[in-house]
Amino acid sequence: MPELDYFIVDVFTDRALAGNPLAVVMNNANLSTEQMQSIAREFNLSETTFVERRATAIEAAEGIRTRIFTTEEELPFAGHPTLGTASVLKIADPSLAIKNTIILAENVGPIPVAFDPKRPGTSNQVLFGEMTQRDPECGPELESARVAELIGLTLADLDPAHPPQIVSTGNGFAIVLLRSLDALSRLNVRQHEATDYLRPLNGRWFYVIAPEAESFRARMQFYGGEDPATGSAAGCAISYLVARRIVPFGQRIHVRQGVEMGRPSDLFLRANLDTDKVTNVRVGGSTVLVATGRLQLP
């Protein structure tokens, strides 16, 4: 029976039992895609990652191979699995502990995660990292009235100056800007209809944001549930906000997510603007190690 080491971390938080949980499995048994999908269902978290170590020279050139699974499917890219997996590697592998940047080779391509050892609160069990996502691809703007209907709100709840839009930095999301936190509290996405509406437009889910004092709050409902923190969607959100000059380019902004479901998460976002093109999209946050164990498989 092969024994596979695994780690449970909470991502986008500096304390256990908050943020977005993630299982990271060290795949040293050449698992099939079907086996990885079954293990992801066993953990039953929003995502589980599988790390496949390769020769040092290959990893130096291409990154550390990482595959990401939800309970339903494999994803080309996702934010909290990227940040959490890089943090686990830095914690668990002495050869990587001294590195300030770890590159993961995901299905979408290489994704670097830079760690800040000087950030307050950082320790061997809590790390602050910042991933650089792909430059955004901006898709079509969406009809506000139809979007409002699909997310259980009214047209008056949406910001009239900035219509919803599909944006992708590896996964396509429909970014929806609301007027108020009250509207955000009433979010109720009609999942089946929303999926039928978004998939032909290369969007997966709605990422809904609202201004909050000097920051933003966000929610993302999917698979009939809700995500405590969505790093890939956050990259799309900062791209949307910077492209529309809603927030200054280069300035780090704070987004809170997961508050309504009792898993508060803190995401820190920034992006550059080169003429009219958004570049250097970065999403950061802390990761805390919660548990370790071994999988025993037949």
Tens digits of per-residue pLDDT, 141-183?
999 999 999 999 999 999 999 999 999 999 999 999 999 999 9
Q: How many CB atoms lie within 10 A of CB 273?
A: 16
- pLDDT at residue number 116: 84
> Same topology for domains 3-134+286-296 and 137-280, yes or no?
yes
How would DSSP label each residue in 213-278?
TTEEEEE-EETTEE-S--HHHHHHHHHHHHHTTSS-TT--EEEEESTTTT--EEEEEEEEEETTEE
> What is residue 46's three-state secondary structure?
coil
- pLDDT (mean) for 116-138: 82
Enzyme catalytic residues: 47
**Domain extents for the chain?**
3-134+286-296, 137-280
| Angstrom distance (rounded) from CA 152 to CA 190 | 7
Q: Which residue has the tokens 């529309």?
A: 244
For CA atoms 38, 42, 47, 53, the dihedral sign is: negative
Q: What share of the chain in percent tops pLDDT 70?
A: 97
Using CA atoms, how far apart are residues 87 and 236, in angstroms rounded to an integer? 22
Whether pLDDT at 101 is above 90: yes
Q: What are phi and psi of 87, to 5 degrees?
A: -65, -40
- 3-134+286-296 belongs to which homologous superfamily? Diaminopimelate Epimerase; Chain A, domain 1 (3.10.310.10)
pTM to 2 decimal places: 0.96
Q: Give the gyration radius of the chain's Cα atoms.
A: 19
What mean pLDDT value characterizes the chain? 95
- The fold for domain 137-280 equals Diaminopimelate Epimerase; Chain A, domain 1 (3.10.310)
